[in-house]
Chain A
Amino acid sequence: MAKYPPPEELIKINYTTPVKSWMDTKTAFKPGNFSYPGKPEILKYLGMPNPRVWSPTDDDWQLPPDWQRIVMEKFREKLKKYRSFKIFMDVCVRCGACADKCHFFIGGGDPKNMPVLRAELLRSIYRGEFSAAAKVLGKLAGARKLEEDVIKEWFLYFYQCTECRRCSLFCPYGIDTAEITMMARELLHEVGCNINWILEPAANCNRTGNHLGIQPHAYKDMMDFLCDDIEEITGKRIRPNVNKKGCEILFITPSGDIFADPGIYTYMGYLILFEHLGLDVTWSTYASEGGNFGLFTSDKMMKKLNAKMYAEAERLGAKWILGGECGHMWRVINQYMSTMNGPADFLETPVSPITGTKFDAAAGTKMLHIAEFTADLIKHGKLNLDPSRNDNFKTTFHDSCNPARGMGLFEEPRYVLKNVCRYFYEMPENTIREQTFCCGGGAGLNNEEFTETRLRGGLPRGNAVKYVRDRHGVNNLACVCAIDRATLPPLCDYWAPGVGVSGLHELVGNAIILDGEKKRTTDLRQNPLPGMEDEEE
């Protein structure tokens, strides 16, 4: 080998990574790989411990003096309270089936983003502090002591998990790393290590009913604004009910859709659908948020924010709740609502007033997903649709983690989509339905400062989108989640340029023919409809 001239470039810089055990690899915070910490005033408002100004890049994180005791006590308490947590700590056989199933690992290659190692960050402390054998054997048994660096590592990696649960699908023991992440985040809360993007929306929601802190009059104002746009496009003035008592249905959807592009078009789609049906439905400016960032904050906050929706339904005297296109709202509803705030006996099992269909699956929560509602309408031929209005879209469908893995909502959105669009193409089988890939921004990580890591985690999704773009000319990615509508556009822009993002009901809104509407020349985004490119206003 020494026969040829040595490659200078390679001698000067060694590009290979040193072989080290994960425990000895130090955690490095760089702009783009972490989310900004919770602001002290927000922590104070929420009554959470250790409010202070700090940054993950600081050497000293200003943990409380007895932080070790605090964390260990909480750890012990959680182990006692949640049997599943203790089992998850005990049973992993490190088979590695989950190792390459996490989008952050698939896109980035950091071993600590393998779900098995992510959990090991916690498990090693569990062993080191709670198990007798490991106390003696130490590192040999995969055990270690709780030191400040461990807290830093937890903060980095448990805020690099979107709690999407893809990994648990592949675990033979059903270990749910998302649950482990939740536990770890709760331990971190105890010593004041958390992120603002979760806490501020939770605080706002607690105060004003939605994440952005929009007050009732401003919310109503925004609605009118969207109704103006609808009038311009369809010639029809819609006057939605707001906070109206005695309506049959209360409709709740994420607030992200009322002010953020492209969510507003989905919002307009709902308004058009309800108008078309003459539905006896009201919106609420208090329950103006479907999302529940309490899920990422604490049990108590989750319960409270969830209870608010039901309290509003009771106050308004609605019979049941119709829920919009949201991701984790449905996780909370399906996984936690009945044990937390149920049963909601003051409500009735949802029955579609248009078709008479009774939705027994929603009997427990009294809350129906709009995709199921609309699919049922289409099945009964109750919608007057012109799918050719969506002919500019060649669309595919992104299964959002929570509705897909959390509630098994696979067919209804596809059924709706195929009826309102004429060009629909699926992404590859191992990237959709149960196996869907996360947008990289769930569980409170859809903030701007985290974009780089989001894109890293977005590679598997982006790669599948690029595939259908190249193969079928797909130019639209439809989804049923407000966080997706915020995170998928940059993801597509980076990995599959030319593909836009829409909500499902935006496309429904385009296709619905309202009674007495004028001849439409544009879609809801005010882009010309197919064949109308030359029409002047």
Chain B
Amino acid sequence: MLKLVDHLVLEQQAVLDAWFDLILGTYSENTAVLWKKRDDPFANPVRHRFEAGMRGIVVGLGTCGQTPDVATFGPYLDEIVRVRAIQDFTPSQATAFIFLLKKAVRETLWDKIVEHELYIELLALESAIDVLALFAMDIYCQCREKLAALRIDQIKKQYDRLLKRANLVCDLSAEGGEEK
């Protein structure tokens, strides 16, 4: 008998479509229309990254067994989180997309779940999705930390040479002192 995750993989396109619609619902209506329409990966990188990440996640859930691991899912989540981390969302809004997968699964696979009484498996799948949400939170924080680091870096780079020239800072690594 087919398991829930098998149905998930078999009907991945329907799940992905439902999930994509839900995620685009977190953007303004005009934006969603345009992003749905254009599928050139370079003219519409948001859609491209989202689709790549979402497919990886759905297929991954179909094959990962009980507990999802960050090595498999990290890169896929990154495709999406990295974008939403700098799109003016709050942290919860930025990472909520992962919970929308639950809704997409329920909506798309409900008939199968009822027919084959896959309720326990549904609970397991939803728990796995919860774990992904935690991974997503980690990635979100990494992105924001990166952003802060890039800002500091820019300030440093702007004045670095001038400070060195004015002998206001010394470059220890160049003298080979401290680092070894």
Contacts and interface: CB of A to CB of B under 8 A. Distances in A.
Nearest to A457: B86
Contacts of B87: 107-109, 456
B12 to A, nearest CB: 20
Interface in B58-107: 82-83, 86-88, 92-93, 96, 99-100, 102-103, 106-107
Contact of B31 (A111, A428, A455, A464): A111
Interface stretch (A8-16, A285-293, A336-344): A8-16
Contacts of A140: none
B40 interface: yes
Interface residues of B, number: 51
A463 B28 contact: no
Nearest to A431: B42
A460 interface: yes
A16 B25 contact: yes
A223 B95 CA distance: 49
Contacts of B93: 15
Contacts, number: 140
A170 to B, nearest CB: 11
Tell me whether chain A's interface is mostly helix, strand or loop, or mixed.
helix
Contact of B45 (A15, A214, A459): A459
A464 B45 CA distance: 9
B43 interface: yes
A125 B157 CA distance: 42
Interface stretch (A233-241, A257-265, A296-304, A505-513): A257-265
A45 interface: no
Contact of A111 (B28, B46, B103): B28
Contacts of B88: 30, 33, 108, 110, 456
Contacts of A4: 106, 110, 113
Contacts of A17: 25-29
A109 B106 contact: no
A110 B28 contact: yes
A490 B43 contact: no
Contacts of B55: none
B35 A109 contact: yes
A159 to B, nearest CB: 15
B160 interface: yes
Interface string A333-359: 000000000000000000000000000
B151 interface: yes
A173 interface: no
Interface in B11-34: 25-31, 34
A202 interface: no
Given A111-B30, A452-B86, A455-B147, A460 B42 contact: yes
Given A17-B28, A110-B88, A456-B86, A430 B43 contact: yes
Given A13-B96, A110-B88, A260 B25 contact: no
Nearest to B150: A490
Given A111-B28, A222-B161, A459 B151 contact: no
Contacts of B103: 7, 10
Contacts of B107: 1
B25 A13 contact: no
For chain A, give the interface size range. 35 or more
B153 A490 contact: yes
A261 to B, nearest CB: 5
B46 A107 contact: yes
A91 interface: no
Nearest to B155: A448
A398 to B, nearest CB: 14
Contacts of A218: 165
Contacts of A110: 28, 31, 88
Contact of A109 (B27, B100, B113): B27
Tell me whether chain B's interface is mostly helix, strand or loop, or mixed.
helix
B45 A107 contact: yes
B114 A467 contact: no
Interface string B122-165: 00000000000000000000010011001101110111111001
A130 interface: no
Nearest to B130: A9
B160 A261 contact: yes
A179 interface: no
A111 B35 CA distance: 12
A486 interface: yes
B28 A494 contact: no
B174 to A, nearest CB: 9
B111 to A, nearest CB: 10
Nearest to B102: A7
Contacts of B31: 105, 109-111
Contacts of B48: 463
B147 A451 contact: yes
Contact of B82 (A114, A212, A494): A494
Contacts of B160: 259-261
Given A448-B154, A451-B150, 10 more contacts: A9-B99, A9-B102, A100-B43, A106-B43, A109-B31, A109-B35, A214-B162, A486-B157, A494-B146, A495-B82
Interface of B: 25-31, 34-35, 38, 40-46, 48-49, 82-83, 86-88, 92-93, 96, 99-100, 102-103, 106-107, 110, 113-114, 143, 146-147, 150-151, 153-155, 157-162, 165
In the A-B complex, the 5 residue pairs with the smallest Cβ-Cβ separation, listed nearest first, are A463-B45, A490-B150, A109-B31, A16-B25, A259-B161
24 contacts: A3-B110, A7-B99, A9-B102, A15-B25, A15-B26, A99-B30, A99-B34, A100-B35, A106-B45, A107-B86, A109-B87, A214-B162, A259-B159, A259-B162, A260-B157, A260-B158, A431-B42, A451-B151, A455-B86, A455-B147, A459-B46, A463-B45, A490-B150, A493-B150
